[in-house]
Amino acid sequence: MRLLLLCLAAGALAGLAAAEQPQHPPQFPDLEFVGEQGGSVRLSELQGNVVLLNVWATWCGPCKKELPIVQKMYDTYSDRNFVVVSVNVDADRKRVGPFLKQFNISLPVYFAAPEDAGPLTATGIPSTFILGPDRALVDRAVGYSPEWEERWKKVVERYLKSRK
């Protein structure tokens, strides 16, 4: 019985020690996206910046509500170490230009390779990932909620502030 109690106590202490270890967010994969106007961007090239990666489609109702918020984030923070990577996953890329005009979106748009788009959209779209300056995933949202704008601002400002 005493041995059992000692084993349980040792296990509890090991659990506490593990809980005290700082948790490092996972590093986001080093994906490359092709630009609407040609060229490309690789996430590792953006290291040192806070990155808001937003994955969307023209046929997605919640995306139509969220893209103006992403545009606002771009307008507010892009003069600092903040980058928006707006990734469209439409099969017909010709729909993107008219869609952007209709919703007054001026973000640079990129396209994901099919093998990258699947994992990015596996839980739904829009999917938004906020990456810290070291490409660590620091926040993630799927779908649309009006409350996310304030949440994203707090996350972005915290990581921008930590760079000073």
Per-residue pLDDT reduced to its tens digit, 69-84: 999 999 999 999 999 9
User: What's the pLDDT band for 8 if we cut at 50, 70, 90?
Assistant: very low
Arithmetic mean of pLDDT over the chain: 84
As separate numbers, helices (DSSP H) first and strands (DSSP E) second, the chain gives: 5, 7
* Residue 12 predicted with pLDDT over 80: no
Instruction: Determine how β-strand 127-131 pairs with β-strand 137-142.
Output: antiparallel
* Residue 152 predicted with pLDDT over 70: yes
Tell me how far apart the alpha carbons of residues 84 and 54 are, in angstroms, rounded to a whole number: 8
Q: What pLDDT shows up at residue 24?
A: 64
Q: What is the largest CA-CA distance in the chain?
A: 74
Q: What pLDDT shows up at residue 126?
A: 96
Note the pLDDT tens digit of each residue in 124-150.
Answer: 999 999 999 999 999 999 999 999 999
State the pTM of this model. 0.81
User: What's the pLDDT band for 164 if we cut at 50, 70, 90?
Assistant: low
Tell me how far apart the alpha carbons of residues 25 and 132 are, in angstroms, rounded to a whole number: 9
Q: Are 37 and 71 in contact (CB under 8 A)?
A: no
Q: How many CB atoms lie within 10 A of CB 85?
A: 21
**Per-residue DSSP letter, 106:** -
User: What's the pLDDT band for 119 if we cut at 50, 70, 90?
Assistant: confident
Domains in the chain (CATH in brackets) are: 25-161 (3.40.30.10)
Average pLDDT over residues 9-31: 55
User: What's the pLDDT band for 27 if we cut at 50, 70, 90?
Assistant: confident
